[in-house]
């Protein structure tokens, strides 16, 4: 085309496309999911803009927020069109080729090791999956602010953009034309497309139509020249009714008449609606099946592994602030969950206002430590026709957030309550459960803890209001937990009579801590000591001062009291000279004091940290951070 401008794909994008083109990945269907998802995003965007400016929607067909699919068997083209926001020329250049998304190289790496393309949508490069089935792709797009353009590429390292002077004007939106590869002709079968759209569009909130063929019976004249004669015949025969001979004759005439008009099959086309746009969160939780929640989670999280979410909570909040929400605990934590935790906003809740999608980057809905949850909030109280910034400052958000946190913590608490492994340690409260459920719920809290335990600890640090609720969710190993996880409540239930404080020790590993001289006496006297081995635990314990009326005591710090020790005073007195001499001898070593110890058994002496100073473990952590 003479007005085409040529561009080269950014290097990472080009590599990604090569991999996709040459991929042996068998589940090629996923391209359709990605295209529908992009169309739906584009429709969400224009609908959002229309809240503050109705004009943007345009008139007539252009204003219809829908998706259309067409098949052209002769030309071997599958096309998908949306009336979404569209792309300007600049958008086309940037979004489809020259600017790599941050996830691109991560995905390329993952692809090379696993070959699994299923997660492509999570990495923000879903569009390129079209090259699983097509060797030539055209993207025709019209944005309100620009003319209509065509992007095209054969995935040979380059793409071209031309002003569109030959296709039908789109009004607004995007049409993607896939020129299907020979081995992908199945995507021209209507039945296949219908099946796939149904599968992938269950949670798409816009109507999706297919240009569907329909066989209809039409009556056509058998022989056009004779038709008038036959009609006359028919008239005569009916007037001669009653006479036997004539009746016979007239029957013969009928036989002749039959081919007068004949039925033939004719193919007509019409738009057929393929999805039901009733949103799952508007339905009653009782009516939604486990399978539906699982599928909804997959589409929401763009996580198409077959794993079930660990838990979910679907509820309606009523009162001053009304909203519906669905929250999910994912089956696994993403690898980068705690990377640059304090510098990035990773909001994972989608916000809708009265069914209209507003944003998925709304970090006011959940605190950082709960950002591992996925889900959706649909509010009836928030105003629709205001900007995102104004929404962000709306007073109901605080109430929504508060309720969401409560519900989220309840949901997590329930994972523990329903886990038979958790209750096995408790003798007081037996949780009733059916056998089948037991199997599925068994070990779930340990699994949760291994994936997201750090978030609970960060919550204790960040969220003073819910600190106690979060502390209940805390798990750790201890000198008596027998290699399993235990909780503060369980610890307290095992406390010795007369024991006032909750004892803990921090370090790099359980193995190292078990040998610690600080534990000698405590162990001998049968006191339980918690092992905290995660670097974040040191910070955690600066915030978690008490639980259930009991103080926490680091056993490597000053202030440890183990029952009553009557000999103590005597010993102090008799070793006074020695301790004094030691203090003098260690004067240059920053030693504050030398004392007779009540915590040792075999070890002759040990270095203890002052009550408000850093523990030795904390010193180690701080040093490794500054290195
Ligand atoms: P993602 O959808 O995760 O952003 P994709 O690779 O699927 O990644 O799409 C890349 C970008 O191309 C989108 O972010 C969007 O800006 C643009 N895009 C793709 N399809 C459409 C469409 N149908 N309408 C408008 N923009 C689109
Ligand atoms: Mg996409």
CA-proximal residue: ligand 1, atom 9 (nearest): 127
> How many A from CA of 129 to the centre of ligand 1?
12
Whether the predicted pLDDT of 304 surpasses 90: no
The pTM of this model reads 0.78
Report pLDDT digits (tens) over 184-207. 999 999 999 999 998 888 889 999
Report pLDDT digits (tens) over 375-411. 999 998 888 877 778 888 888 899 999 999 999 999 9
> How many A from CA of 483 to the centre of ligand 1?
49
CB 500 within 8 A of CB 550: yes
Whether the predicted pLDDT of 494 surpasses 80: yes
Cα angle 455, 368, 531 (rounded to 5 degrees) comes to 20
Write b or e for each residue in 512-541: b if 16 or more Cβ atoms lie within 10 A of its Cβ, otherwise e: ebeebbbbbbbbeeebbbbbbbebbbbbbb
- The pLDDT value given to residue 241: 44
CB 180 within 8 A of CB 256: no
Q: Are strands 477-478 and 261-273 parallel, antiparallel or unpaired?
A: unpaired
Query: DSSP secondary-structure letter at 71?
Result: E
Query: DSSP secondary-structure letter at 375?
Result: E
CA 111 – CA 119 distance, rounded (Å) = 9
> How many A from CA of 37 to the centre of ligand 2?
6
**Closest listed ligand to the CA of 176:** 1
Which secondary-structure segment (H or E) carries 149? strand 148-153
* Global ipTM: 0.99
CA-proximal residue: ligand 1, atom 1 (nearest): 124
Question: Which comes out higher in pLDDT, residue 620 or 627?
Answer: 620
Query: DSSP secondary-structure letter at 609?
Result: B
Q: Is the beta carbon of 39 within 6 A of some atom in ligand 1?
A: yes
Sheet holding 374-379, edge to edge: 311-317, 323-329, 374-379, 349-353, 356-359
Q: Is the beta carbon of 126 within 6 A of some atom in ligand 1?
A: yes
Q: Is the beta carbon of 127 within 6 A of some atom in ligand 1?
A: yes
- Residues within the annotated binding site for ATP? 34, 38, 82, 87, 95, 101-103, 122-127, 174, 388
pLDDT-derived band at 341, boundaries 50, 70, 90: confident
Q: Which of 124-138, 425-439, 588-602, 603-617 has the highest mean pLDDT?
A: 124-138
Structure tokens at 47: 């609908």
Write b or e for each residue in 577-595: b if 16 or more Cβ atoms lie within 10 A of its Cβ, otherwise e: eeeeebeeeeeeeeeeebe
DSSP H helices, 442-518, are 444-462, 467-472, 488-493, 510-514
Q: Is the beta carbon of 173 within 6 A of some atom in ligand 1?
A: no
Q: How far is CA 241 from CA 235, 255, 260, in A?
A: 10, 16, 20
CA-176 nearest atom, ligand 1: 23
531 Cβ neighbours under 8 A, 6+ residues apart? 476, 477, 478, 479, 504, 505, 507, 510, 513, 514
Beta bridge pairs of residue 376: 326, 350
Whether the predicted pLDDT of 603 surpasses 90: no
CB 369 within 8 A of CB 465: no
Between 567-574 and 576-585, two packed helices, what is the crossing angle to 10 degrees? Answer: 60
């Amino acid at each position: 085309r003479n007005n085409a401008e040529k561009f080269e794909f950014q290097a990472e994008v080009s590599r990604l496309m090569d991999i996709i083109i040459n991929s042996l990945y068998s589940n090629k269907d996923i391209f359709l999911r990605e295209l529908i998802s992009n169309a739906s995003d584009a429709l969400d965007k224009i609908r959002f803009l229309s809240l503050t400016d109705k004009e943007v929607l345009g008139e007539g067909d252009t204003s219809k927020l829908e998706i259309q699919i067409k098949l052209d068997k002769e030309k071997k083209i599958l096309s998908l069109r949306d009336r979404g926001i569209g792309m300007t020329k600049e958008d086309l250049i940037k979004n489809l080729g020259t600017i790599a998304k941050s996830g691109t190289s991560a995905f390329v790496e993952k692809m090379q090791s696993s070959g699994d393309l299923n997660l492509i949508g999570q990495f923000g490069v879903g569009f390129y999956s079209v090259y699983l089935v097509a060797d030539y792709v055209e993207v025709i797009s019209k944005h309100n602010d620009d003319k209509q353009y065509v992007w095209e590429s054969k995935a040979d390292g380059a793409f071209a953009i031309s002003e569109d002077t030959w296709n039908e004007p789109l009004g607004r939106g995007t049409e993607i034309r896939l020129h299907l590869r020979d081995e992908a002709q199945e995507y021209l079968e209507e039945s296949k497309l219908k099946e796939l759209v149904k599968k992938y569009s269950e949670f798409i909130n816009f109507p999706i139509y297919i240009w569907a063929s329909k066989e209809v019976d039409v009556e056509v004249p058998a022989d056009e020249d004779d038709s008038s004669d036959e009609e006359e015949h028919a008239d005569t025969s009916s007037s001669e009714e009653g006479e036997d001979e004539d009746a016979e004759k007239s029957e013969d005439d009928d036989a002749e008449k039959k081919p007068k008009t004949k039925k033939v099959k004719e193919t007509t086309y019409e738009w057929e609606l393929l999805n039901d746009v009733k949103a799952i969160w508007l339905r009653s939780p009782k009516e939604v099946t486990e399978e539906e929640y699982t599928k909804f989670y997959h589409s929401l999280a763009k996580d198409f592994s077959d794993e079930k979410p660990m838990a979910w909570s679907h509820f309606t909040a009523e009162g001053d602030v009304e909203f519906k929400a669905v929250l999910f605990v994912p089956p696994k934590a993403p690898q980068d969950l705690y990377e640059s935790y304090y510098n990035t906003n990773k909001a994972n809740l989608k916000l809708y206002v009265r069914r209209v999608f507003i944003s998925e980057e709304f970090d006011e809905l959940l605190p950082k430590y709960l950002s591992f949850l996925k889900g959706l909030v649909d509010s009836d109280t928030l105003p629709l026709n205001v900007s995102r910034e104004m929404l962000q400052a709306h007073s109901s958000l605080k109430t929504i957030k508060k309720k969401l946190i409560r519900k989220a913590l309840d949901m997590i608490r329930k994972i523990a309550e329903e886990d038979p492994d958790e209750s096995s340690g408790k003798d007081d409260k037996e949780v009733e459960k059916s056998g089948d459920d037991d199997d599925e719920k068994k070990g779930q809290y340990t699994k949760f803890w291994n994936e997201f335990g750090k978030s609970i600890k960060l919550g204790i640090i960040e969220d003073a209001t819910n600190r106690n609720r979060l502390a209940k969710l805390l798990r750790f190993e201890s000198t008596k937990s027998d290699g399993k996880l235990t909780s503060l409540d369980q610890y307290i239930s095992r406390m010795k009579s007369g024991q006032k404080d909750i004892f803990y020790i921090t370090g790099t590993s359980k193995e190292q801590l078990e040998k610690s001289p600080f534990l000698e006496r405590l162990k001998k006297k049968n006191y339980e000591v918690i092992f905290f081995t995660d670097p974040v635990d040191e910070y955690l314990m600066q915030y978690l001062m008490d639980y259930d009326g009991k103080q926490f005591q680091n056993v490597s710090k000053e202030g440890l009291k183990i029952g009553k020790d009557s000999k103590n005073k005597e010993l102090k007195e008799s070793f006074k000279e020695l301790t004094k001499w030691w203090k003098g001898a260690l004067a240059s070593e920053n030693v504050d004091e030398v004392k007779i110890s009540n915590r040792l058994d075999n070890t002759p002496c040990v270095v203890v940290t002052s009550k408000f100073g850093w523990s030795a473990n904390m010193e180690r952590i701080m040093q490794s951070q500054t290195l």
